[in-house]
């Protein structure tokens, strides 16, 4: 191989190494951009030297050397751009900023004069004081009203709310059984020094809160206890974008009546999925992939999965299924499979004591069950009646 200067090389690779480039860059510059050999070899490698780094143009007519440069200009990740383009979005929508839902919080603060603010930053901005100066004032044991107007110096030796002096912040925190992180986070939430040191519990959710009815609580835990909602449920709903009123509602968000592909009605989605012996993850995955539409979202058994009661679909033959149960194999239709699988699931519940305390179901023989001592039902009807009448956890 001979370059533009007449230097001879044993191979292309040797020539590329001599000029500090590689085959991908050289091919892109000569074949795609139309550069001559001299320019392609003597120009140092750049970020735009990559396969597919063609010149492009955004929706406003701005030209860029590559998609990477265009994405950097609009401040979105390239992966986000390609994902949006794969969904068929137009160019303007592909380059739009990423929207993030702001979490609603109940961390309101008050200035002591009856005025409420969404955060400590908002309160400090209203009084034209920096948050750092406010925190220094609080550490000097000033009240909230005075801390919003006074200008004090950072103490050399910190003091507690009783005036006792300590060698350092760490010594003060050790004396009251809290960490420096807890002290700092509570100062950020607008607590007074007395409130911080007199509540040594190291709980992140132990913050002064106000609900949607403007009722004040000494802590977030007290607010959740008053509304009968657990901390896990509350934070999960907030992460999902719910407002405070919805997040504090005692009724479960999942207690919404649901209807399956056959028209059966259930008190909630969990009851519907339990009737179809399906996990919530499988159902959500099938809906997201949209591989199952209409009745297919529910009624196709999963080959190889062992259903409750030991029923396993082995193979599908047209409209029939080969299933296995306790070492025996049967060929059944799809409807017969679900009938048999639900019956065995109910038998398993009865054997393991998995029924609610207020429900009595007894297996009489074959397909028949005695429900509540009064009704004789088959397996499907008994399971459906159980799911319709049981008390779902709120």
Same domain, residue pair 80 and 186: no
One pLDDT digit (tens) per residue for the chain, 394 residues: 899 999 999 898 899 889 988 888 888 788 777 789 999 898 887 755 554 566 788 989 898 877 888 888 888 888 888 888 888 889 999 998 886 544 444 457 788 888 888 778 888 888 888 888 888 888 888 888 888 888 888 878 888 888 888 888 888 888 887 888 888 877 877 778 888 887 765 454 455 677 888 888 877 778 888 887 877 778 777 776 777 887 887 565 455 677 887 788 887 777 888 888 888 777 777 776 655 554 455 667 888 888 888 889 898 888 888 989 888 898 988 888 888 888 888 788 777 776 766 667 767 676 677 766 666 767 677 777 777 766 554 4
Same domain, residue pair 291 and 364: yes
Q: Report the pLDDT value the prediction gives residue 103, as an integer from 0 to 100.
A: 45
Helix ranges, the chain (H): 12-18, 23-27, 37-42, 67-74, 78-86, 91-94, 120-126, 131-139, 144-147, 169-176, 180-188, 193-197, 220-227, 231-239, 244-247, 269-275, 280-289, 296-299, 334-352, 379-389
104 assigned to some structural domain: no
Cα separation, 129 vs 44, whole angstroms: 53
Same domain, residue pair 216 and 345: no
103 assigned to some structural domain: no
Same domain, residue pair 313 and 362: yes
Is residue 175 within 8 A of residue 123, CB to CB? The reply is: no
Same domain, residue pair 241 and 267: no
Is residue 199 within 8 A of residue 192, CB to CB? The reply is: no
Cα separation, 348 vs 360, whole angstroms: 14
100 assigned to some structural domain: no
Tokens of 317: 């033959």
Name the phi and psi angles at 315, rounded to 5.
Answer: -160, 155
End residue of a domain, out of 212, 247, 282:
247
Same domain, residue pair 306 and 179: no
Same domain, residue pair 266 and 367: yes
Q: Which domain holds residue 141?
A: 109-247
Tokens of 117: 């603010």
- Find, among 257, 258, 255, 271, the residue nearest to 387 by Cα: 271
DSSP 218: S
99 assigned to some structural domain: no
Is residue 47 within 8 A of residue 78, CB to CB? The reply is: no
Same domain, residue pair 174 and 50: no
198 assigned to some structural domain: yes
DSSP 183: H
End residue of a domain, out of 226, 247, 268:
247
Same domain, residue pair 118 and 166: yes
Give the C-alpha distances (Å, rounded to integers) separating 317 from 294, 301, 322, 333, 384: 22, 13, 7, 10, 29
- Find, among 139, 135, 131, the residue nearest to 157 by Cα: 139
Is residue 210 within 8 A of residue 216, CB to CB? The reply is: yes
End residue of a domain, out of 192, 222, 247:
247
1 assigned to some structural domain: no
Same domain, residue pair 232 and 349: no
286 assigned to some structural domain: yes
Same domain, residue pair 238 and 263: no
Q: Is the pTM of this model over 0.75?
A: no
Place of tokens 């507690």: 160
Q: Could you tell me which residues come within 8 angstroms of residue 258 by beta carbon, excluding any fewer than 6 positions away? A: 265, 266, 268, 269, 271, 272
The CA-CA-CA angle for residues 92, 95, 101, to 5°, reads: 110
Same domain, residue pair 324 and 297: yes
367 assigned to some structural domain: yes
In the chain, the number of structural domains is 3
């Amino acid at each position: 191989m001979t370059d533009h200067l007449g230097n001879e090389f044993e191979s292309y690779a040797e020539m590329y190494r001599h000029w500090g480039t590689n085959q991908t860059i050289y091919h892109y510059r000569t074949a795609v951009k139309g550069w001559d050999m001299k320019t392609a070899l003597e120009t140092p490698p750049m970020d735009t030297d990559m396969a597919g780094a063609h010149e492009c143009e955004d929706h406003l007519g701005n030209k860029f050397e590559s998609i990477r440069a265009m994405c950097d200009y609009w401040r979105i990740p390239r992966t986000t751009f390609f994902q949006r383009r794969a969904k068929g979005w137009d160019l303007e929508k592909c380059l739009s900023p990423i929207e993030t839902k702001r979490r609603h919080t109940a961390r309101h603060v008050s200035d002591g004069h009856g005025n409420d603010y969404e955060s400590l930053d908002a309160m400090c901005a209203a009084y034209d004081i920096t948050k750092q100066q406010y925190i220094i004032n609080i550490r000097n044991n000033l009240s909230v009203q005075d801390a919003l107007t006074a200008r004090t110096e950072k103490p050399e030796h910190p003091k507690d709310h009783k005036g006792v002096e300590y060698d350092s912040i760490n010594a003060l925190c050790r004396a009251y059984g809290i960490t420096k992180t807890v002290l700092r986070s509570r100062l950020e939430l607008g607590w007074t020094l007395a409130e911080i040191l007199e509540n040594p519990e190291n709980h992140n959710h132990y913050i002064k809160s106000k609900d949607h009815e403007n009722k004040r609580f000494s802590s977030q835990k007290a607010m959740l206890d008053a509304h009968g909602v657990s901390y896990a449920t509350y934070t999960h709903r907030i992460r999902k974008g719910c407002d405070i009123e919805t997040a504090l509602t005692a009724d479960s968000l999942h207690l919404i009546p649901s209807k399956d592909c056959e028209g059966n009605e259930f008190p909630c989605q969990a009851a519907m999925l339990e009737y179809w012996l399906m996990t919530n993850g499988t159902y959500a995955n099938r809906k997201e992939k949209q591989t199952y539409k209409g009745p297919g979202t529910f009624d196709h058994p999963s080959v190889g999965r062992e259903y409750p009661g030991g029923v396993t679909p082995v193979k599908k033959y047209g409209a029939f299924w080969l299933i296995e149960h306790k070492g025996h194999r049967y060929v059944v239709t799809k409807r017969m499979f679900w009938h048999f699988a639900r019956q065995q699931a109910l038998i398993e519940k009865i054997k393991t004591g998995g029924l609610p305390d207020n429900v009595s179901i007894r297996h009489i023989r074959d397909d028949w069950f005695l429900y509540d001592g009064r009704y004789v039902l088959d397996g499907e009807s008994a399971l459906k009646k159980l799911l319709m009448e049981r008390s779902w956890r709120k």
